[in-house]
């Protein structure tokens, strides 16, 4: 077989027929290349694809550079094999490229995979969807932030960005414990953060409106509303509606936290859809848990605060600007029919 380039795509010529090429970006802490190749290679052969291009992630290189290299080489699909961090990194490298992302979920949360109805524990099924499934355009959250030293960075997220309690939990979760017990590791970190009862003071501006000042425990800006399987923190979120959902959490005392718990664990999942619009609107303006949708939000923090994207901790920032890139990422989904 001989590498060639045809119409901007890297293909393999075999018997005069162009064969598509897949890139496989994998997190070696989740699965080894040999074990992955035992599934990927036969699937590629059966689907009539050429040999895969392989890219391994690292702690300081979780998938963005690898995805950009795959696009530059003309690959027709990029498989991201790992957790939400690997998926986010690959998505950032594929933003606006027109090359679809195939999710092979091997992480703790696998939030985007759950949202898209993809196979989680069936490696062969996930690979088959990545090669033979349909293609769907989804939104990306785009984050520009400024750190305390005035340095600036740009990132994307596919699930949500969080500051405050949410990010503090991600920052203090024991990675060893996380590997052993999964999402239960977040519970320990969450209890510690709750007892600190720390609020952020910030100035924010939504969609170019008036600037306001508030104090909150947590701010979430999201594209996917459900976390940890059945915890619905953003009940109206849609992954392809060209908008982001904004949640401000600011309970007062233990009763306030009980109200938050009721909303995200029970009310949002079972009762919200049954309520008249006026009642939903009233609930969305509640002090403990306030909702709204937007396309852009600017936040300036009084003190540097922790921030997380799709469950990965990114340290402290001083100011954040978050917008939506509508339909900027193509993903592979199960074929219909």
Q: Do 311 and 159 form a contact (C-beta atoms < 8 A)? A: yes
Residues 81 and 182 occupy one common structural domain:
no
Positive or negative, the Cα torsion across 70, 75, 34, 333? positive
Structure tokens at 80: 């991201």
Give the strands of the sheet with 9-14, arranged side by side: 2-6, 9-14, 17-19
Positive or negative, the Cα torsion across 73, 78, 81, 83? positive
pLDDT at residue 12 greater than cutoff 80: no
Residues 160 and 48 occupy one common structural domain:
no
pLDDT at residue 225 greater than cutoff 90: no
pLDDT at residue 327 greater than cutoff 80: yes
Residues 101 and 163 occupy one common structural domain:
no
β partners of residue 107: none
Residues 127 and 145 occupy one common structural domain:
no
178-184: list long-range contacts, CB under 8 Å, 24+ apart: 178/108, 182/108, 183/108, 183/109, 183/228
Structure tokens at 320: 């954040």
Last residue of a domain, one of 92, 112, 132: 132
Taking only the tens place, the pLDDT of each residue in 71-124 is: 999 999 999 999 999 999 999 999 999 999 999 999 888 999 999 999 888 999
Phi, psi of 285 (to 5 degrees): -105, 15
Q: Do 237 and 223 form a contact (C-beta atoms < 8 A)? A: yes
Residues 57 and 167 occupy one common structural domain:
no
Q: Which CATH number fits the domain that encloses residue 234?
A: 2.60.200.40
Residues 272 and 168 occupy one common structural domain:
yes
Last residue of a domain, one of 113, 132, 151: 132
Residues 156 and 109 occupy one common structural domain:
no
Residue 64, domain member (yes or no)? yes
Q: Do 232 and 225 form a contact (C-beta atoms < 8 A)? A: yes
Last residue of a domain, one of 132, 151, 177: 132
Q: Which residues constitute the domain of residue 215?
A: 141-326
Q: What is the pLDDT of residue 13?
A: 53
Name the percent of the chain in helix, strand, coil, to the closest 5. Answer: 30, 40, 30
Residue 333, domain member (yes or no)? no
pLDDT at residue 202 greater than cutoff 80: yes
Residue 229, domain member (yes or no)? yes
Please state the domain count of the chain.
Answer: 2
Taking only the tens place, the pLDDT of each residue in 114-123 is: 999 998 889 9
Residues 185 and 295 occupy one common structural domain:
yes
Residue 5, domain member (yes or no)? no
Task: Report the mean per-residue pLDDT for the chain.
Answer: 87
β partners of residue 312: 309
Q: What is the largest CA-CA distance in the chain?
A: 71
Helix (H) / strand (E) containing 170: helix 165-172
Residues 91 and 117 occupy one common structural domain:
yes
Residues 257 and 157 occupy one common structural domain:
yes
The pTM of this model reads 0.86
Taking only the tens place, the pLDDT of each residue in 23-69 is: 999 999 999 999 999 999 999 999 999 999 999 999 999 999 999 99
Q: Do 50 and 19 form a contact (C-beta atoms < 8 A)? A: yes
Residues 155 and 271 occupy one common structural domain:
yes
Of residues 269 and 292, more confidence is placed in: 292
Residues 317 and 214 occupy one common structural domain:
yes
């Amino acid at each position: 077989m001989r590498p060639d380039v045809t119409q901007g795509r890297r293909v393999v010529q075999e018997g005069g027929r162009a064969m598509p090429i897949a890139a496989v970006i994998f997190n070696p802490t989740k699965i080894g290349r040999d074990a992955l190749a035992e599934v990927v290679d036969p699937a590629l052969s059966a689907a009539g694809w050429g040999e895969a291009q392989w890219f391994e992630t690292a702690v300081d290189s979780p998938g963005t550079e690898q995805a950009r290299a795959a696009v530059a080489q003309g690959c027709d699909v990029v498989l991201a094999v790992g957790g939400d961090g690997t998926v986010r990194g690959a998505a950032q490298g594929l933003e606006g490229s027109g090359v679809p992302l195939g999710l092979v979920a091997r992480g703790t949360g696998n939030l985007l995979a759950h949202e898209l109805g993809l196979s989680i524990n069936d490696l062969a099924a996930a690979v088959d969807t990545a090669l033979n499934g349909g293609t769907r355009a989804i939104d990306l959250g785009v984050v520009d932030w400024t750190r305390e030293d005035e340095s600036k960075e740009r990132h994307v997220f596919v699930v949500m960005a969080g500051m405050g309690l949410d990010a503090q939990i991600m920052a203090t979760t024991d990675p060893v414990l996380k590997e052993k017990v999964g999402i239960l590791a977040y519970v320990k970190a969450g209890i510690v953060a709750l007892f600190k009862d720390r609020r952020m003071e910030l100035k924010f501006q939504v969609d170019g409106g008036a600037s306001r000042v508030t104090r909150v425990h947590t701010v979430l800006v999201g594209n996917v509303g459900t976390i940890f399987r059945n915890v619905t923190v953003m009940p109206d979120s849609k992954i392809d509606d060209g908008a982001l959902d904004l949640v401000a959490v600011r309970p007062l005392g233990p009763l306030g936290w009980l109200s938050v718990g009721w909303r995200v664990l029970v009310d949002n999942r079972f009762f919200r859809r049954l309520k008249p619009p006026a009642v939903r609107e009233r609930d969305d303006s509640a002090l403990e848990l306030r909702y709204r949708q937007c396309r852009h939000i600017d936040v300036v923090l009084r003190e540097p605060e922790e921030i997380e994207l799709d469950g990965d901790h990114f340290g402290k920032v001083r100011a954040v600007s978050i917008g939506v890139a509508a339909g900027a990422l193509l993903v592979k989904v199960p074929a219909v029919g």
